[in-house]
Chain A
């Protein structure tokens, strides 16, 4: 019988806690970190576990309150000038040390570029099981096993994955899948100063520049107007409708590939997954890998000239027609109605 690979610590040494990596960029917590605290709070309550946030950065102490207000019982804070920017060298070292000191049952992070960069590496260092870009997390109270739901094959298949014998149970979670709780400023929590020893010579990578521009974050948009190949690049028209709705615009892959709109606005399996109240989808045929990006929208309105477009199967309201006519008419109707009727 072949010996199985073992994690650096096991179930007998774990502390019954869920740890959430609190990603921050430019002094703000990433929304997904707060979503994970919200969901983690529910799981921890259900199992009687502790919910811990792990926060790294420089002069970010004020963010601990926000983490506690969203559900953390404890926040471990590592504050150091060399942690101002994310690098795998510094963050990898500090998060590894913190995990080995706290030995949590579960360690989760947002499936952001940095979250994946970090956990993908640490899971190997810890010899732990890692699930990626999860769309749901459940905790089996009796066994303490974390069950991750992931999608594969373009979103067509759901798999439930667990790592029952290895600790910590690691997962990255897709931004936007868990709703965000209201902050409760009256919540109390403990802040633990985690001392770190870092020096310049540990840095192999150097961050030359970080540009976070207009801060497009479609996962937070409540009203979304989305254009596909059929709108022939006329995102100006969609922008006017989005403005009338107080929303934002997104796209399928073809207009992005054609350079009509930036890739940060691409929705679907290889882009952003959104959960808006309303998605208005214009000139989109409705390939499955796109539809997965709006499957959690409360209401979907589809406009397409082709009555056979698969998109209509994913829509609540279906309009067979030309978006170039209907979208401006709708913008006009909404603008008229906004005039106060006093």
Chain B
């Protein structure tokens, strides 16, 4: 069989704990937040690398975002990916899941003949979890979401994915091509290979594609391509708690707590 062609969709996100809402402007304050690779996308890359190690093939990373993403994405190369495509254009800004999945699907289609697309289950900033099935729909191919283990039956040319479902798991077979969403923390991403680092951070490792390169319909990208709008934004309220400290020996504390609990059972 031919070499498997694998794509991993990755995203750079602000560190969630460093993002707040500016109380004056009611806008997101990301200025002071440092960026990182979306943690679950690292699990997706690891699953793709492991898949490639076992069954062969090549891995391209595809990302949609502003030019500064190119400072972070080479980490993927240093871990073992072959090439990076950054879909970057002012017109891609303000995209919701519909426009994002459209744009990523165009990028994947332009790479061509892709067998497997790995995505993180969700991003830590948007947390929609709905990008992977959206990509699968635009490409009209199969999907397995919330996967924590993936194997390949080379004879039947079918992948077998184990999905996490509430209180258990499900095992699903499907033929290629397929979109796989990888469950958070389902593996331990490998370290960068430091011998690859200087190679990885060379400019020519990244191909940037804009609206014209993708031949995108301008009505389907960015804000025009996004049905949803954010109509309000606020800092999450923290519920008022009593914060009453209870002192004493463990037995004294236990008796006091038992009283509190009995009132509430």
Chain A contact residues, CB within 8 Å of chain B: 2-5, 7, 25, 30, 87-88, 111-114, 116-125, 127-133, 147, 150-166, 172, 204-217, 223, 245-246, 253, 256-257, 263-264, 269-270, 277-278, 287-289, 292, 295-296, 298-301, 312-321, 325-326, 329-330, 332-334, 337
- Bound-state CA distance A133–B128 (Å) is 7
Interface residues of B in 191-224 (CB under 8 A from A): 218-220, 224
Query: Would A245 and B261 count as touching, CB distance under 8 A?
Result: yes
- Bound-state CA distance A245–B98 (Å) is 46
Task: Tell me which of B137, B168, B219 contacts A121 (CB under 8 A).
Answer: B137
Q: A7-B227, A113-B163 are in contact. Are A120 and B239 (CB under 8 A)?
A: no
- Bound-state CA distance A121–B143 (Å) is 9
Q: Which stretch in B70-78, B80-88, B109-117, B243-251 binds the other chain?
A: B243-251
Task: Tell me which of A120, A161, A263 contacts B132 (CB under 8 A).
Answer: A120
Query: Would A295 and B238 count as touching, CB distance under 8 A?
Result: yes
Of all chain A residues, which has the CB nearest B169?
A: A211
Q: A211-B168, A212-B167 are in contact. Are A129 and B98 (CB under 8 A)?
A: yes
Query: Would A318 and B244 count as touching, CB distance under 8 A?
Result: yes
Q: A124-B137, A124-B138 are in contact. Are A207 and B171 (CB under 8 A)?
A: yes
Q: A4-B219, A321-B253 are in contact. Are A315 and B233 (CB under 8 A)?
A: no
Query: Would B171 and A209 count as touching, CB distance under 8 A?
Result: yes
Task: Tell me which of B16, B129, B185 contacts A257 (CB under 8 A).
Answer: B185
Query: Would B173 and A158 count as touching, CB distance under 8 A?
Result: no
Q: A120-B129, A317-B260 are in contact. Are A289 and B245 (CB under 8 A)?
A: no
Nearest CB in chain A: distance from B127 CB, A: 6
Task: Tell me which of B164, B228, B233 contacts A158 (CB under 8 A).
Answer: B233
Nearest CB in chain B: distance from A126 CB, A: 10
- Bound-state CA distance A74–B144 (Å) is 31
Q: Which stretch in B3-11, B17-25, B46-54, B61-69 binds the other chain?
A: B17-25
Task: Enumerate 28 A-B pairs (CB-CB under 8 Å) in ascending A order.
Answer: A3-B219, A4-B224, A4-B225, A7-B227, A113-B165, A117-B146, A123-B98, A130-B227, A133-B127, A152-B127, A154-B16, A156-B17, A157-B20, A157-B28, A159-B230, A164-B229, A204-B175, A211-B170, A214-B167, A217-B166, A217-B167, A253-B185, A292-B236, A315-B243, A316-B241, A326-B254, A329-B254, A333-B258
Q: Which residues of A contact B125 (CB under 8 A)?
A: 152-153
- Total residue contacts A-B, CB cutoff 8 A: 287
Q: Which residues of A contact B126 (CB under 8 A)?
A: 132, 152
Q: Which residues of A contact B172 (CB under 8 A)?
A: 87, 205-208
Q: Which residues of A contact B60 (CB under 8 A)?
A: none
Task: Tell me which of B219, B224, B229, B236 contacts A157 (CB under 8 A).
Answer: B236
- Bound-state CA distance A128–B225 (Å) is 10
Query: Would A163 and B185 count as touching, CB distance under 8 A?
Result: no
Q: Which residues of B contact A332 (CB under 8 A)?
A: 254
Of all chain B residues, which has the CB nearest A125?
A: B137
Of all chain A residues, which has the CB nearest B123?
A: A152
Query: Would B236 and A158 count as touching, CB distance under 8 A?
Result: yes
Query: Among the interface residues B127, B138, B171, B236, which one has the most CB atoms of the partner chain A within 10 A?
Result: B236
Of all chain A residues, which has the CB nearest B237?
A: A158
Q: A157-B21, A277-B264 are in contact. Are A256 and B16 (CB under 8 A)?
A: no
- Bound-state CA distance A4–B254 (Å) is 62
